[in-house]
Structure 1
Amino acid sequence: MTHDTTVRSLVVEPGAAPERLDRVLARGFEDLSRARLQALARDGHVRCDDVEIRDPSRKIAGGSRLEVLVPAPLPAEPQGEALPLVVVHEDDDLIVIDKPAGLVVHPAAGHEDGTLVNRLIAHCGDSLSGIGGVRRPGIVHRLDKDTSGLLVVAKNDRAHQGLSAQFADHGRSGALERAYLALVWGVPEPRAGTITASLARSRHNREKIAVVRDGEGRHAVTHYRVENLPGGDGLTALVRCRLETGRTHQIRVHLSHRGHPLLGDATYGAAFKTKAARLSEKPRAALAALDRQALHAAELGFLHPRTGERLRFESPLPEDFSNLLRALEA
């Protein structure tokens, strides 16, 4: 055992019915995920009454003494980069970021560095206690590269589990709240409603998402409400969207499917570029300056995974978006 390894122990309640090792450990060590504890067992880091146990499903009797050897988190991959971050909230368990448009969340082909994850690793440092044994931020949801706004990230296994459960529930229990502001072409009718349409990768372009028949893709639900009509001419509308599910490109695809693609969305609104010619000079220039889809994650609410406290955050429209809105309203 190295000096960086922590020994955690617990005694199972005497007389308790035999139960799976991983379940006993998960209940006893809530800061470690069940998957992490299973991995530690398979790697020979769990002992029961001084006997090594590598099978996470092994039944453990009441009165047994368990020991878990928890190695220090491995260095993060990718590496940290000390680049700017707009931090809205931070504590020992999580951090809420106001992401600017143009920032990729996670490293991938073509975006190996300079991402939000690189910045978080540098910013959080030792406060990242390890997700799955690696000192890295726990990404529980993402925003498209060119979508701005609020995003929460876990710092440890316990927070990652709690936040992931809320995002998996998609707010059905009322815990999670996500609202986006979008500028769209035309005016959705009715002015408030729900779009329910399954989504899947397009068969014609794997980089795009498409609406498909039920049973062929993932169930997706977007609630929307028209907030106002900039300029009052019905050419554009500011729409507030609340997600019941969180699929890739969901808002962009759902609104485009209804005939109301987002302003500036080159992927799902290319056929509507001619509408920009109907704008007057100032809004047309502001739209060109936006150079992205007009979508902003404006509200984020959830229960703190450790304290259960209700947290709610709002993000003002970024300058490029607000400039376009003002130009349309002029």
Structure 2
Amino acid sequence: MAVAAEQAGTRLDRLLAGAIGTLSRSRVKALIEEGHVTRDGTVVTDPSESARAGARYTLLPPPPVAAAPQAQAMDLTILFEDRHLIVLDKPAGLVVHPAPGNLDGTLVNALLAHAGDELTGIGGEKRPGIVHRLDKDTSGVMVVAKSDTAHQALSAAFASRDLERAYLALVWGLPSPGSGEVDAPIGRHPMDRKRMAVVARNGKHALTRYATERGWGAGCALVRCNLATGRTHQIRVHMAHINHPLVGDPVYLRRLPGSAKAVPQPARDALLAFPRQALHAETLGFRHPVTGEMLRFHAPLPPDMQALLTLLDGNPS
């Protein structure tokens, strides 16, 4: 479309959504951010851009994708499986369900190959069986439903926090006190909508209990975090909020605490080069949704995090 003089200055996503008529403004905004809009042949990625008089904007939507994800065989570390559920140890780097930018190669694709028709229709076509998720670069224990009964019961347990979830996080600095609570509401960052933050208004209640498992001087520590609530990026946001950001966190590690200088070489270089947030879902406990039996599962630290601990102990292999 060509921008008329009276349309100049209008926010781009609003202008295009109005002109197209069949797409919501939020969908148009996402398409702009994904690079599907050009201005006079130049890609535009800022939805808030003020439209320029005389400029020609073109929206080139991505090709359609299959409504349902396809089965893709992958190696999975299964901790438990029966007719109703699967408990697995998710590796870091694996996306849980298809989304823009990751339309295949996800855990859902692997589960469809592993469980086949047992997952059909469970929890929605894009995320069958998924009742909770871990971030792409967080490793550890997950449970997936294989039946409607299990899906409903597990979803209710996660919603009511009637379960045990414990994570291990390698953080910069040594928390003081060594154990405690972070009770601070979490919402969208007011200046960066892709990040979460502790906010004064319009946040959701978030409570993390932490305890220091090991410390290496004042430089860094291995901390166990238990979730009393389950907000997006909760541990990452809360630990950064108390000035102990996670090692390797690409979003919330904005500035190293001064105590990080206390970590000796070569461990300090390894921590600085760690390519993901050093966060692992170690324990998941819940009642079986059908039998009522109390189940508790553990996943050992993955090799990359264990290698950091070995370096910190001064025993490089």
Fold shared, TM-score > 0.5 on shorter chain: yes
From 100, 109, 131, the equivalent of 2:122 is 131
Q: Name 1:295's counterpart in structure 2.
A: 279
Deviation at 1:234, TM superposition (A): 1.4
* CA distance, structure 1, for counterparts of residue 120 and residue 195 of structure 2: 36
From 223, 236, 253, the equivalent of 2:220 is 236
2:83 counterpart of 1:92 = yes
Deviation at 1:285, TM superposition (A): 4.3
Secondary structure of the 1:239 match is strand
Q: Name 2:305's counterpart in structure 1.
A: 321
Question: Alpha carbons of 1:148 and 1:78: their partners in 2 closer, same or farther (altered >3 Å)?
Answer: same
Q: Is contact 2:123–2:131 with CA below 8 Å preserved after alignment?
A: no
Q: Is contact 2:219–2:260 with CA below 8 Å preserved after alignment?
A: no
Q: Name 1:279's counterpart in structure 2.
A: 263
Question: Alpha carbons of 1:79 and 1:129: their partners in 2 closer, same or farther (altered >3 Å)?
Answer: closer
Deviation at 1:156, TM superposition (A): 1.5
* CA distance, structure 2, for counterparts of residue 291 and residue 136 of structure 1: 27
Gaps of 5+ in 2: 1-65
* CA distance, structure 2, for counterparts of residue 309 and residue 134 of structure 1: 29
* CA distance, structure 1, for counterparts of residue 193 and residue 127 of structure 2: 29
* Runs of 4+ residues over 6 Å off in structure 1: none
Deviation at 1:85, TM superposition (A): 1.2
2:208 counterpart of 1:222 = yes
Deviation at 1:275, TM superposition (A): 6.5
Secondary structure of the 2:270 match is helix
Secondary structure of the 1:270 match is coil
**Bigger mean CA offset, 130-139 vs 236-245:** 130-139
TM-score w.r.t. the length of structure 2 is 0.74
2:245 counterpart of 1:261 = yes
Q: What letter is aligned with 1:241?
A: C
Gaps of 5+ in 1: 1-74
Q: Name 1:161's counterpart in structure 2.
A: 152
**Bigger mean CA offset, 119-128 vs 247-256:** 119-128
| Superposed CA offset, 1:253-283 (max 9, x none) | 0010011101111211131188766533331
From 194, 197, 212, the equivalent of 1:207 is 194
Question: Alpha carbons of 1:134 and 1:209: their partners in 2 closer, same or farther (altered >3 Å)?
Answer: closer
| Superposed CA offset, 1:273-305 (max 9, x none) | 887665333313432563111110000000000
| Superposed CA offset, 1:216-240 (max 9, x none) | 111100011111113xx21111110
Deviation at 1:88, TM superposition (A): 1.0
Residues 108-187 of structure 1 mapped to structure 2, 5 A cutoff: 108-128=99-119, 130-131=121-122, 137-171=128-162, 176-187=163-174
Q: Is contact 1:128–1:136 with CA below 8 Å preserved after alignment?
A: no
Secondary structure of the 1:323 match is helix
TM-score w.r.t. the length of structure 1 is 0.71
* CA distance, structure 2, for counterparts of residue 320 and residue 132 of structure 1: 32
**Bigger mean CA offset, 130-139 vs 117-126:** 130-139
Q: What letter is aligned with 1:223?
A: R
Q: Name 1:248's counterpart in structure 2.
A: 232
* CA distance, structure 2, for counterparts of residue 281 and residue 101 of structure 1: 25
Secondary structure of the 1:251 match is helix
* CA distance, structure 2, for counterparts of residue 313 and residue 240 of structure 1: 16
* CA distance, structure 1, for counterparts of residue 214 and residue 186 of structure 2: 28
Q: Is contact 1:136–1:155 with CA below 8 Å preserved after alignment?
A: no
Q: Is contact 1:180–1:241 with CA below 8 Å preserved after alignment?
A: yes
* CA distance, structure 2, for counterparts of residue 273 and residue 225 of structure 1: 19
RMSD: 2.0
Q: Which has the larger radius of gyration?
A: 1
Q: Name 1:198's counterpart in structure 2.
A: 185
Q: Is contact 1:162–1:305 with CA below 8 Å preserved after alignment?
A: yes
Q: Is contact 2:69–2:125 with CA below 8 Å preserved after alignment?
A: no
Q: Is contact 2:98–2:108 with CA below 8 Å preserved after alignment?
A: yes
* CA distance, structure 1, for counterparts of residue 113 and residue 172 of structure 2: 40
Q: Is contact 1:159–1:305 with CA below 8 Å preserved after alignment?
A: yes
Q: What letter is aligned with 1:315?
A: A
Q: Name 1:19's counterpart in structure 2.
A: none
Q: What letter is aligned with 2:237?
A: V
Q: What letter is aligned with 2:186?
A: L
Q: Is contact 2:165–2:284 with CA below 8 Å preserved after alignment?
A: yes
* CA distance, structure 2, for counterparts of residue 85 and residue 126 of structure 1: 18
Q: What letter is aligned with 2:205?
A: H
Q: What letter is aligned with 2:76?
A: L
Question: Alpha carbons of 1:132 and 1:246: their partners in 2 closer, same or farther (altered >3 Å)?
Answer: closer
